[in-house]
Amino acid sequence: MASRLRMLAAFTALILLLSAFPIGCETAPKELHFKNELETAVNIYFSSASEDDWSEKPTRIGVRSGDRVGLSFSDFDGVSGKMADIGAIDENSINYDIYDIVLIDGDLIVLSGDANEARFTITHSDGTESTYLAIIKPSVD
Instruction: Determine the structural domain holding residue 60 and report its residue range.
Output: 31-138
Q: What is the pLDDT of residues 1-20, one digit of tens each?
A: 666 656 656 655 555 555 55
For the chain, the domain total comes to 1
- Residue 2 included in any domain: no
- Residue 6 included in any domain: no
- Residue 128 included in any domain: yes
Q: What is the CATH number of the domain that holds 75?
A: 2.60.40
The whole-number average pLDDT for the span 91-105 is: 92
**pTM flag (> 0.85):** no
- Residue 132 included in any domain: yes
How many C-beta atoms surround the C-beta of residue 97 within 10 A? 19
Mean pLDDT of all residues belonging to the chain: 82
How many C-beta atoms surround the C-beta of residue 139 within 10 A? 12
- Residue 22 included in any domain: no
- Residue 25 included in any domain: no
pLDDT band at 140 (very low <50, low <70, confident <90, very high): low
Side by side, the strands of the sheet bearing 129-133 are 68-72, 31-36, 108-113, 118-123, 129-133
